[in-house]
Structure 1
Amino acid sequence: MLSNVLGMVVIIFVINIFYVTLNTVRMILTFKGYRYLAAFVSIFEICIYVLGLGLVLNHLNHIQNLIAYALGFASGVMVGIKIEEKLALGYITVNVITSRLEMDLPELLRNRGYGVTHWTAHGRKGQRLMMEILTPRRNEFDLMDTIKSLDPNAFIVSHEPKNFYGGFWVKSIRKGTKS
């Protein structure tokens, strides 16, 4: 099958999808602090990389191999991103600013299982309610949808916190019990 031109192109394409997907996942695991799992993934990543690159370098006289390598690389990036979205590792902080002071939005969100810290802030058009909510990343879009349903005009910003210290969540985050 390796002597078959189309077969070679398909093999190079698929190998590079696997390589770049593993590369993307390994980098994300590294950024999220899963060092040992990232190191384990890198074993497979580098074996697949050497295999795919070797096939291309041994057959450089066929431009379609290089094209397959490049297309596999791009496809692997997309697959890796999709896998990372599904894994949704880590936590997200969502900041919400709303003018709905009369509505007890913090309590409504707490009743839905979210931890909310809130305070009164002063904006251009008067008093505002400011809320800060920490939640697992996998809950981010549900939280955003909940906030939008409660106040379609809320200003919402989300970001990933790098470190945690203090607060009621920290013990359960470190133990891995809070979902």
Structure 2
Amino acid sequence: MEEFYQSDLFSYLVLPLMIFVARVSDVTIGTLRIVMVSKGQKLIAPVLGFFEVIIWLLAMSKIIQNIDNWVAYFAYGLGFAAGNYIGLILEEKLAVGIVQLQIITRANADNLIAKLKARGYGITYHEAHGATEKVGVIYSIIKRADIKPVIEIIRTYNPNAFYSIEDVKFVSKGVQSTAKPLPLQRWRKGK
């Protein structure tokens, strides 16, 4: 077995692959940890941080032990880049938290408002003065997992509406969304 650890196959293929996988893992976990910190998840964030650091220490110890192996450096950097990408994709799929949706319409928003209410979303609506004309402004606090279906409603009932989405860390009171999860969302939640 010692021969294998001293071989070029191990040094220039297996070891860099291990470092790459470790780096992808720790950076992915780190990306998710940062999201959990921003969402105020006080229990999940430290647990993720623990595993992130342990994996990073293992990867770094292998880099230091093989300081003259340029392939290991390349694998380390590539793992960092891939970990960022995978972490962002996972964060998007998890859709943790809530967001504030602001919709500004030029056209009559009655159909859009009715459809949002019918789907169980709480809304606040008022008329305002835009740069050149009167506009309608709709606000709603929704789950991040509901962003896509809400955008589809907007595109269907008021396709020229301007909308923006902002993260919300905490909501104290108000109408909670009673929107039913779509089939994919039910599957993700294990229902």
TM-score, normalised via structure 2 length: 0.83
The amino acid of 2:143's aligned partner reads P
Q: How does 1:58-97 map to 2 (within 5 A)?
A: 58-97=65-104
Q: How far apart are residue 125 of structure 1 and its match?
A: 3.4
- The residue number in structure 1 matching 2:44 is 37
Match of 2:160 among 134, 153, 164: 153
Runs of 4+ displaced beyond 4 Å: none
| Equivalence map 1:76-155=2 (5 Å) | 76-101=83-108, 103-155=110-162
Structure 2 gap segments, 5+ residues each: 178-188
Mapped to 1, the partners of 2:109 and 2:41 lie a distance apart of 43
Superposed, 1:4-15 pairs within 5 Å as: 4-5=10-11, 6-15=13-22
1:115 counterpart SS class: coil
- The match for 2:61 is 54
Shift of 1:39: 1.1
In the alignment, which residue of structure 2 is the partner of 1:173?
A: none
RMSD (CA atoms): 1.8
Q: Between Structure 1 and Structure 2, how many residues are aligned?
A: 171
Q: Which residue type is aligned with residue 91 of structure 1?
A: I
Secondary structure of 1:118 counterpart:
strand
Letter in 2 for 1:88: A
Structure 1 residue runs of 5 or longer lacking an equivalent are 171-178
Deviations 1:94-141, CA, capped at 9 Å, x for gaps:
111112227342122100121111011122332221100111001112
